[in-house]
Chain A
Amino acid sequence: MFGLLMYGLTLLTMIGIYGVLTLALNLQWGFAGLFNAGIAGFFAVGAYTTAILTAPESANHLGGFGWPPLAALPVAMLLSGLIAWPIGRICLGLKGDYLAMASIGIAEIIRLVFKNETWLANGTMGISTVPRPFESLGQPWGNAAFLLLVVLILVVLYLAAERAWASPWGRAMRAIRDNELAAAAIGKDVVRFRLEAFVIGSMVMGLGGALSAMYFKFIGASATEPLLTTFLVWVMLIIGGSGNNRGALLGALVVWLIWSGTELFTNRLPAEWITRSSYLRALLIGVLLIVVLQRFARGILPERPPRRID
């Protein structure tokens, strides 16, 4: 019974963290039509920032600043935003493919830095002493409290995203997404609007990374693999319904349930298959992405025009 409760808490927390990431991607892709192929990079910056600021002093990596976990969150967001800004400045006036190529590049460079600069974050071994808020409450209360924190953040983000969607800002963003030339012709500063969406979205991705580092109490090379961040988040958004904040959240829920559900199943396979099963799951996720794009490109909850809120 206790095990089941802990499993449920883990599941919900993970869905919450992915929900943060998909809302962020929806801001970039769903609102503004920006293709960010480097989610893993912004995620990593947020996660490592939090780890370095909050983990206890260690000879293996930079640290010992002793920041309280929650104070690290804004810094994690700020740094992610600072990295997104120049990339956005350079690419957002160009065709979308350029942003895709540059963002996959920046993610790759960030991965290289954290992997090779062992003084910074202990290289591939990573940092495994990241404190989690409310830990001192013990299990399951500490976990429940952390889940509550994630849900709280998610609710705030969701409400903000919904407001933004219905606001003049969101309307301008969609106009630019759907017809850049026409939007520019009526005097919208296309690059500035896009830059806002890109930077804010990347900051929220950094926030997602920070929450994930706290939850796992660990950040390392394996946690910033593009598969678990960039790819999975894209699949979640497309399946849930891009351009719809609820769709984004639903996508995170559905895809994470599938992802962890197949894990339960594949763990029962014979031993030599278990190692391979993770590749099988990645393959299925890839197929799912393609099929959904081809058949149900609008996702489970398609985009709809905002309700008027004035």
Chain B
Amino acid sequence: MAEFINLYLLPGVAVGCIYALGAVGISLIFAILRFAHFAHGDVMTLGAYLAYSVVIALGWSVYAALPFAILGGALASMGIDHVVYRPFRRSPGIIVVIASFGVMLVVRSAIQLFWGVDILSYETGIRRPIPLFGDIRLAQKHIIIIAASVVIAAALHWFLSRSRMGKAMRAMSDDADLARISGIDTEKVVRWTWLIGGGLAAAAGVFAGINTKLHPSIGWDLLLPLFAAAILGGIGRPYGAIVGGLAIGIAQEVATYPWLSELPLVPPAYKNAVAFFVMVAMLVWRPTGLFKGRVL
């Protein structure tokens, strides 16, 4: 039992936090701009590499580099929107999806050009897991990932429910035309959406790099579970995406537990297949997701 919790469930929660941070951005962007942002995984990768550069250049811990990565991811996303997506505001959403395909290619190859393709690591050192109570232990990196995600999620909740811009974001997601008629500066809302979505993605990327290793397709590899999480929670619903991310992360890890025999139920290499299975099941059973997203 302790083994199950220590090696499967708690790491699953940590992975779930990473997915949640990424999927919230995808859901927010969908809520405001009505398109599935395919380049989101690559924004995550960018954030992870920005943190790496800060770690190398200043000799800081990766945790201290996190705010810089978040800022970098936020500004980069806003810049990409300004240059690439803005001319498509009146185009059908699917055209913007194709454009985000292009962005995906550009961001990833820029990362490969600039940082190379070798597998890197933040060198956080090997630390012994910390006993919580009884036999239950939690790796330090997982504690930090989970705690930081909770803080970020709380800040996001405050932003969406209390701040003027957060409310305007929810208003625009509710009805963009009415938001315009009400005098809301929708372009400003869009800029904030990218700042927040990009910042969260960068944080998720850094955490993914801490959790495993750093490589140029770290974000691309997470794209499928992120979409699955967003659909599970109801696309366009940021809170749903948090639940969806946690559920997918835990399901992926727990599915590799040897439930039936000595062998893992699902081979670890097929973790993403679990996400795909959940995504397809949702599309069949309830495309609007657990929390009734928009679309259809």
Contacts and interface: CB of A to CB of B under 8 A. Distances in A.
A283 B93 contact: no
A300 to B, nearest CB: 17
B20 interface: no
Contacts of B104: 286
A108 B226 CA distance: 13
B23 to A, nearest CB: 12
A231 B296 CA distance: 27
Contacts of A101: 36, 227, 231, 279
Contact of A283 (B101, B109, B228, B295): B109
Nearest to B112: A279
B105 A282 contact: yes
A105 B296 contact: no
Contacts of B105: 227, 231, 282-283, 285-286, 289
A238 B30 CA distance: 24
A289 B224 contact: no
B181 interface: no
A68 interface: no
A282 B110 CA distance: 9
A231 B105 CA distance: 8
B273 interface: yes
B58 interface: no
Contacts of A227: 105
Interface stretch (A12-20, A89-97, A189-197): A89-97
Residue of A101, A282, A294 with highest tally of chain B CB at under 10 A: A101
Contacts of A91: 283
Contacts of A70: none
A109 B273 contact: yes
Given A37-B38, A280-B113, A97 B108 contact: no
B8 interface: no
A282 B97 contact: no
Contact of B38 (A33, A104, A293): A104
Contacts of B275: 105
Nearest to B223: A104
Interface stretch (B43-51, B132-140, B183-191, B264-272): B264-272
Size bracket of the A interface: 35 or more
Contacts of A158: none
A95 B113 contact: no
Contact of B295 (A94, A115, A234, A280): A94
A105 B270 contact: no
A96 B38 contact: no
**Interface of chain B: mostly helix, strand, loop or mixed:** helix
Contacts of A96: 93-94, 97
B284 interface: yes
A234 B106 CA distance: 15
Contacts of A290: 84, 99, 102-103, 106
A289 B84 CA distance: 11
Interface in A32-91: 33, 35, 37, 90-91
Contacts of A282: 105, 108-109, 112
Contact of B106 (A105, A287, A297): A287
**Interface of chain A: mostly helix, strand, loop or mixed:** helix
A96 B279 CA distance: 15
B279 A105 contact: yes
A116 B267 contact: yes
A293 B102 contact: yes
Size bracket of the B interface: 35 or more
B68 interface: no
Contacts of A279: 109-110, 112-113
B250 to A, nearest CB: 19
B192 interface: no
A297 to B, nearest CB: 7
A234 B101 contact: yes
B87 interface: yes
A33 B269 CA distance: 34
A219 interface: no
A90 B101 contact: no
A33 B110 CA distance: 30
B101 A97 contact: no
A298 B128 CA distance: 59
A112 B272 contact: yes
Contacts of B231: 98, 101
Given A102-B283, A280-B113, A289 B276 contact: no
Nearest to A242: B98
Contact of A97 (B84, B87, B97, B270): B97
Interface string B259-296: 00000000101101101100110011001000000011
Contact of B276 (A108, A231, A297): A108
A301 interface: no
Nearest to A237: B98
Contact of B102 (A95, A104, A280, A289): A289
14 contacts: A90-B283, A95-B296, A97-B94, A97-B235, A101-B227, A102-B279, A102-B280, A104-B223, A108-B276, A109-B276, A234-B101, A279-B109, A282-B108, A290-B102
Given A98-B231, A109-B273, A286-B105, 19 more contacts: A35-B94, A35-B97, A35-B98, A90-B283, A94-B295, A95-B296, A96-B93, A97-B36, A97-B94, A102-B279, A105-B228, A105-B280, A112-B272, A115-B269, A231-B101, A279-B110, A286-B104, A289-B99, A294-B88
By Cβ-Cβ distance, the 3 closest A-B pairs, closest first, are A286-B105, A286-B106, A289-B102
